[in-house]
C-alpha cells in the first residue's frame, strides 16, 4: 500500500507564491489567517492525515460498511478517526463564527480537504457533504433553522447529506415522486425513497441532517414544482436537542465498485417530519448552493487521486528494477535499471505530476474566488469572482475528475501486474476515483451546463472576465523570452477556443443536437487550455524565484520542466477534441436507435 505524504511544499507554493493568499486574506479581513497560522494548520492537517486517516484506508476498502436492520456500521477505526477529526476542530475551520466556526478562509480548508481525500476518499466523504448542507441552510434557511441545525453541523457532531436521486430519476429531477404534505404545525411530512445517498446512514455522528427535494401536492409538474426540506434522522427541538427517531430509515446500502468504506444508502422517508427551506417551488434554485459546493469538492477529489497515484507510482518506479536504459547502464551495481529511466514510465509519471500540480493550482484559484464572494466588500470584485466561478466550476469538476481517473490508470500501469493486485493499493485508487466522474453531475451534464447554459446561454459574456485575465497575463509576458514557449500556445489555443464557440453557436441554430454532440469535447478542450494558463503562471513565478537566487532551485526547475512536458505532450490533446467538435453531430446522430444492435 503506498504511503501517502501530504504535498506540503507544493500546496504552500500554490497558495503563497502563485496566488499570494497572505495578501488576499489580509485584504478580505481574514486577520487570523496569518502566514504562521496558515503554515501551522497545513502542517497539523498533514500530520493528522498521515497518522490517522491514511492508515485506515485499505482496511476500509477490505471491510466495507455493514448494514443490519437499518443500521450501518463503518469499518474498523473509522469511528475513532472521526472523533479525532471532530476533537481536532477540523469541521469548524472555515465555518461561520456565529455558529461555532473558526471563520478561516475557504481556500485554506480546500487545501487540507485534498489531503483527506487523497489519503482516504471514503472517510473524507462523511464530513465532506456537511459543507454543502451548511452552505444551503446558511444561504436559504430561516433564523430558527440556522440556530437549530448549524451549530451541531459546524461542530461535526452531526453530519449532512444531499438527497436528490430516486430509483426512476437521476439527472432529470423534475420526475421526482417524493411528496411533502403540510402539517398543522407548519412542518411537512415527507414520503418517498431516495437512492445513492452518500453517508446517508452511519455510526460516526449523533444525528444526520438530510437535505431533501420533494414536491408539495398541487405544485407544478417538472422542475418548477420542486421544494427543498431539512429532514433530520432524529427530530430535534429549537435548542438543537435530540428527540425521538424521525420516520427516516436506511433500506439498504449499495455494493459498489469503489469507496466501499462510505455507506451509499437507500433512504426511505415514511411520513418523516421535515422543514421547508426557502420558498415553495424554489427548491432547485436553493439546491444549487449545495451542488456547486459539492462540485468543487469533487473536483478536488480528481486532484487528490492524481496526487496519491503519482506518489505510489513514483516510489515504485524508483525502486523496481527492470531492463537496462537504452542510453546506457544507470545502475551498474544492480542486475537492471530502475524503471524510472524508461521513457514510457516517465510519460506516465509526468502526466500524473502535471495534472496533480496544475489541477491543484486551478482548485486553489477557485477556492480563493469563493473567499472573495464570501468576504469582499467590493460589488464589482464579487461579480467578477462569481462569473469566473460559474464558468470554471463545470470545467474543474468534469475535466479534473476525468484526467484524475486517467492518472490512477497510469498508477496501475507503472506497477504492471502488481498494480492489478489489491495489496499494493493502486487498483483501489482507480476504483474509488471513477465515482468522481459520475456523482454531482456526470461529465456529460457538466459539459452541457458549461456550453449550453453558461456560454451560449450568456452569448459568450461569461467568458469575458476570465478571458480578460488570461489575455492580460499573456500580454504582460509577451516580451519575456523564457516565457514564449508557454505564452504563444495559450494565445493560439485561446483564439481557436473563441472560434470554436462561435461555430458551435452557429451550427446549433440549424441543429440543436450540435450542442450535445460538441459539449464534452468542448469541455475537455477548455480544461486543457485552462490548466495551460495555470502552468504558465507557475513558470513565471519559478523563473522569478530562480532569478532571485532562491535556495530551492531544484523545486523551481522541476516546475519549469513539468510545464514544458505539459505544453509539449498534454496540451496538444486539445487539438483532437477540437477536430471532434468541428466534425459535428452527423456521425453521432445519423444511426437510428433501432439500428443499434449486437
Compute how many other C-beta atoms are within 10 angstroms of the C-beta atom of residue 496. 15
Asked whether the beta carbons of 301 and 436 are under 8 A apart, the reply is yes
Average pLDDT value for the chain: 96
DSSP string, 342-357: SHHHHHHHHHHHHHHH
Asked whether the beta carbons of 429 and 305 are under 8 A apart, the reply is yes
Place of cell 468543487: 296
Q: What is the pLDDT of residues 550-578, one digit of tens each?
A: 899 999 999 999 999 999 999 999 999 99
β-strands 179-182, 248-253: how paired? unpaired
Give the pLDDT confidence score for residue 289 in this predicted structure. Answer: 80
Q: What is the pLDDT of residues 411-445, one digit of tens each?
A: 999 999 999 999 999 999 999 999 999 998 999 99
Rounded to whole angstroms, the Cα distance separating 496 from 82 reads 48
Q: What is the pLDDT of residues 274-314, one digit of tens each?
A: 999 999 999 988 887 877 878 999 999 999 999 999 999 99
Every domain of the chain and the residues it spans: 287-447, 461-588
Q: Band the pLDDT of 268: cuts 50, 70, 90.
A: very high
Eight-class DSSP state of 549: T
Q: What is the pLDDT of residues 572-592, one digit of tens each?
A: 999 999 999 999 999 999 999
* pTM, entire model: 0.97
Q: If you count DSSP H runs as helices and E runs as strands, how many of each does the chain have, helices first?
A: 19, 11
The residues annotated as belonging to the active site are 440
Q: What is the pLDDT of residues 116-126, one digit of tens each?
A: 999 999 999 99
Q: What is the pLDDT of residues 358-375, one digit of tens each?
A: 999 999 999 999 999 999
User: For the structural domain made of 287-447, what CATH number should be given?
Assistant: 1.20.140.10
Amino acid at each position: 500500500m503506498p504511503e501517502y505524504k501530504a504535498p506540503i511544499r507544493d500546496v504552500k507554493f500554490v497558495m503563497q507564491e502563485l496566488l499570494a493568499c497572505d495578501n488576499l486574506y489580509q485584504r478580505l479581513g481574514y486577520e487570523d489567517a496569518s502566514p504562521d497560522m496558515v503554515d501551522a494548520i497545513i502542517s497539523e492537517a498533514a500530520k493528522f492525515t498521515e497518522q490517522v486517516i491514511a492508515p485506515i484506508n485499505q482496511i476500509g476498502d477490505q471491510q466495507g460498511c455493514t448494514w443490519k436492520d437499518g443500521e450501518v456500521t463503518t469499518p474498523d477505526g473509522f469511528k475513532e478517526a472521526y472523533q479525532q477529526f471532530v476533537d481536532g476542530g477540523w469541521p469548524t475551520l472555515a465555518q461561520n463564527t456565529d455558529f461555532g466556526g473558526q471563520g478561516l478562509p475557504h481556500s485554506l480548508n480546500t487545501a487540507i480537504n485534498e489531503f483527506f481525500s487523497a489519503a482516504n476518499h471514503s472517510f473524507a466523504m462523511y464530513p465532506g457533504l456537511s459543507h454543502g448542507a451548511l452552505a444551503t441552510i446558511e444561504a436559504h434557511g430561516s433564523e430558527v433553522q440556522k440556530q437549530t441545525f448549524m451549530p451541531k453541523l459546524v461542530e461535526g457532531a452531526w453530519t449532512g447529506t444531499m438527497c436528490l436521486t430516486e430509483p426512476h430519476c437521476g439527472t432529470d429531477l423534475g420526475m421526482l415522486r417524493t411528496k411533502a404534505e403540510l402539517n398543522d404545525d407548519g412542518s411537512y411530512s415527507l414520503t418517498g425513497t431516495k437512492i445513492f445517498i452518500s453517508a446517508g446512514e452511519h455510526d460516526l455522528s449523533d444525528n444526520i441532517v438530510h437535505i431533501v427535494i420533494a414536491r408539495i401536492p398541487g405544485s407544478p409538474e417538472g422542475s418548477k414544482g420542486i421544494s427543498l426540506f431539512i429532514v433530520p434522522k432524529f427530530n430535534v427541538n429549537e435548542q438543537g436537542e435530540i428527540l425521538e427517531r424521525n420516520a427516516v430509515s436506511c433500506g439498504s446500502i449499495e455494493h459498489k465498485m469503489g469507496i466501499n468504506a462510505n455507506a451509499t444508502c437507500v433512504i426511505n422517508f415514511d411520513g418523516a417530519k421535515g422543514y421547508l427551506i426557502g420558498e415553495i417551488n424554489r427548491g432547485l434554485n436553493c439546491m444549487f448552493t449545495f451542488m456547486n459546493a459539492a462540485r468543487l469538492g469533487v473536483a478536488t477529489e480528481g486532484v487528490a487521486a492524481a496526487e496519491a497515484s503519482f506518489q505510489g507510482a513514483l516510489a515504485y518506479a524508483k525502486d523496481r528494477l527492470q531492463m537496462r536504459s537504452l542510453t546506457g547502464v544507470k545502475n551498474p551495481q544492480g542486475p537492471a535499471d530502475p524503471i524510472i529511466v524508461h521513457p514510457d514510465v516517465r510519460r506516465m509519471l509526468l502526466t500524473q505530476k502535471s495534472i496533480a500540480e496544475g489541477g491543484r493550482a486551478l482548485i486553489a484559484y477557485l477556492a480563493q474566488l469563493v473567499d472573495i464572494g464570501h468576504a469582499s466588500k467590493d460589488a464589482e470584485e464579487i461579480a467578477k469572482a462569481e462569473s469566473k466561478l460559474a464558468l470554471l466550476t463545470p470545467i474543474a469538476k468534469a475535466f479534473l475528475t476525468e484526467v484524475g481517473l486517467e492518472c490512477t490508470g497510469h498508477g496501475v500501469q507503472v506497477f504492471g501486474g502488481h498494480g492489478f493486485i489489491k495489496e499494493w493499493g493502486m487498483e483501489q485508487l482507480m476504483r474509488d476515483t471513477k465515482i468522481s466522474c459520475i456523482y454531482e453531475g456526470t461529465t456529460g451534464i457538466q459539459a452541457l451546463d458549461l456550453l449550453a447554459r453558461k456560454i451560449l446561454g450568456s452569448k459568450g459574456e461569461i467568458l469575458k472576465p476570465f478571458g480578460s485575465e488570461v489575455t492580460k497575463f499573456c500580454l504582460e509576458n509577451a516580451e519575456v523570452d523564457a516565457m514564449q514557449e508557454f505564452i504563444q500556445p495559450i494565445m493560439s489555443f485561446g483564439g481557436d477556443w473563441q472560434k470554436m464557440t462561435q461555430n458551435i453557436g452557429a451550427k446549433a441554430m440549424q441543429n440543436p443536437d450540435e450542442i450535445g454532440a460538441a459539449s464534452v469535447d468542448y469541455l475537455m478542450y477548455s480544461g486543457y487550455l485552462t490548466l495551460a494558463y495555470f502552468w504558465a503562471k507557475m513558470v513565471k513565478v519559478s523563473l522569478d524565484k530562480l532569478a532571485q537566487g532562491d535556495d530551492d532551485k531544484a523545486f523551481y526547475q522541476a516546475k519549469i520542466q513539468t510545464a514544458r512536458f505539459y505544453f509539449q505532450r498534454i496540451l496538444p490533446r486539445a487539438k483532437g477534441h477540437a477536430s471532434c467538435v468541428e466534425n459535428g453531430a452527423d456521425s453521432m446522430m445519423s444511426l437510428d436507435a433501432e439500428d443499434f444492435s449486437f
